Amino acid sequence: MNFIQTRGSESNKPTSVTFSEAILSPIASFGGLYVPETLPNLGEEFLNKHLNSSYKELAFDMLSRFEIDIDAEVIKKALDLYDKFDDKNNPVPVVKIKENLYISELYHGPTRAFKDMALQPFGVILSSIAQKRDENYLILAATSGDTGPAALETFKNRSNVKVVCLYPNGGTSDVQRLQMVTEDALNLKVIGINGVFDDAQNALKMLLASDEFKTSLKKHNTLLSAANSVNFGRIIFQIIYHIHSYLELVRQGAITQGEKVYLNVPSGNFGNALGGYYAWKMGLAVEKIVISSNENNVLTRLINNGKYDLRHCEVISTTSPAMDILKSSNIERIIYDMFGSERTKELMNDLEMNNFYELTPEELVKLQDSFDADFCNGDEGKKYIKDTFKNDGYLMDPHTATCMKSFNSCSNPAIKTIAYSTAEWTKFSPVIANALTGEVDTKDLKALVSISKEANLEIPSMIKELFNKKIVHDVIIEKEDIQKEILKFL
């Protein structure tokens, strides 16, 4: 199967590209994103067949239906990385929290957040494409916390790939920073920037667009790529767990095959929710996808009033920082799927020129047929963390907690919900300690210990060990010096 871009014009369709090409240059030449030409239809037969499959068997069969230009052996090797998760027989546990609410836990990978679900296998795929082409790639990543550790972990010691990861000094949690600066491998470089996340991200965007930088890289026999969340090589792995979670509910006897469920997704850049939407289009029985946001509620507003409005809007720092995003890139793929490429181009141009676009009333109805949304602020989120722990004995992180409000406000109580948990409590411990005990200004280590006592939970070894590991990357620089520092590394 080939890939086309979201912003092509109907009369002048750009050529389609292979999966490998879509991975290596995730942003299409016209400024849009790559989407599959068609989605495979899985049908009931596929779902019945996989009722008793392992996660990896389901994943392999689903990926095969996409007919991508990656050898079966490579795909198998990529999927083997799910063996590193807590329980290799069940990398994504789905647990019942209360009547009609099930939580699919996407955080059991090596860096304890859901980015591992896609980035773990993605690292193998990208490295194998680079080896096959006999090319060397530099992956640039800017992170506010979760993508950086997951990208470093997956590319560590992989052939033909080097990673430079930029993070805002002081802008991540201790655990997230330690996960990056203690990651020891010759092909990895972690750089702290004096600035905020946007500075790191803007610096990265400038480098990705700079011909001068690309020419300098060529001298080092290196090409540039990115592992950001619009890369279809990540999205494809995010379809699988939605299907898996549904089948888990059937296995547990909670639903019958074909019964519709809500998928409730804590959303930022919309990769997770897009995976659910594609699973639905491929044949999963879904009532609606419920989008949960924090105070940066552009998505909630879009879905409720049809306006994507960034005018007079600034990013707010919240207790769920991985969702502190205003330009939610993957929504473009939904717009394309519903309204076609001409309209996508028009709306995305509006957004770039005016920081605003508006759907027609008919378009809004169509969007609302598939999506519903609500947002939850930090105080509400902390109350959900505390109450869910007290009443249901379940401890959730602040991103997952945003689903609790929309579960109450957006769902028909007769229909079951699968909500997605995107991070383990260990990743955002100061907020959770504050929610449970009221303690303030606690650093990660102290918060981890206090939650562990309060909730009677073990701190996982990979988190505990971080605090004793040697710091390998201690470079903190001004943003003007990033390019120089990267070339020095190469």
Ligand X SMILES: *Cc1c(COP(=O)(O)O)cnc(C)c1O
Interface positions with ligand X (CB under 6 A): 113-115, 146, 229, 266-272, 322-323, 399, 422-423
Q: How far is the CB of 215 from ligand X (least distance, A)?
A: 32
| Alpha-carbon distances of 257 from 43, 46, 49, 195, rounded to whole Å | 12, 11, 11, 51
Closer to ligand X by CB, 8 or 145: give it: 145
In terms of CB distance, is 81 or 273 closer to ligand X? 273
Q: What are phi and psi of 14, to 5 degrees?
A: -70, 155
Helices (H), 35-114: 43-49, 55-65, 72-79
CB-nearer residue toward ligand X: 123 or 268 = 268
Whether 162 and 136 have beta carbons less than 8 Å apart is answered as yes
Residue 195 φ/ψ region, left for φ over 0, alpha for ψ in the -120 to 50 degree band, beta for the rest: left
Q: Least distance in Å: CB of 432 to ligand X?
A: 13
Q: Which is nearer to ligand X, 140 or 482 (CB)?
A: 140
Shortest distance in whole angstroms from residue 300 CB to ligand X: 13
Name the minimum Å distance from CB 391 to ligand X: 23
Shortest distance (Å) from residue 179 CB to ligand X:
12
Dist CA 239 CA 417 (whole Å):
17
Residues present in the chain in total: 490
Minimum gap (Å) between residue 166 Cβ and ligand X: 17
End-to-end CA distance of the chain: 35
CB nearer to ligand X: pick between 330 and 450: 330
Q: Which residues of 217-240 are buried (b: 16+ CB within 10 A; e: fewer)?
A: beeeebbbbbbbbbbbbbbbbbbb
- Residue 376 CA: distances (Å) to CA of 112, 211, 266, 406: 23, 42, 10, 8
CA–CA distances in Å: residue 433 to residues 318, 379, 385, 398, 468: 16, 13, 10, 11, 22
CA distance 146 to 368: 30
Q: Which is nearer to ligand X, 247 or 322 (CB)?
A: 322
**Closer CB to ligand X, 46 or 425, in the complex:** 425
Cβ 100 to ligand X shortest distance, Å: 22
Output 238 or 411, the one with its CB closest to ligand X. 238
Distance, in Å, from the CA atom of 224 to the CA atom of 162, rounded to the nearest integer, reads 10
DSSP code of residue 460: P
Provide the residue type at 88 as one letter: K
> In the bound complex, what is the minimum distance in angstroms from residue 238's beta carbon to ligand X?
7
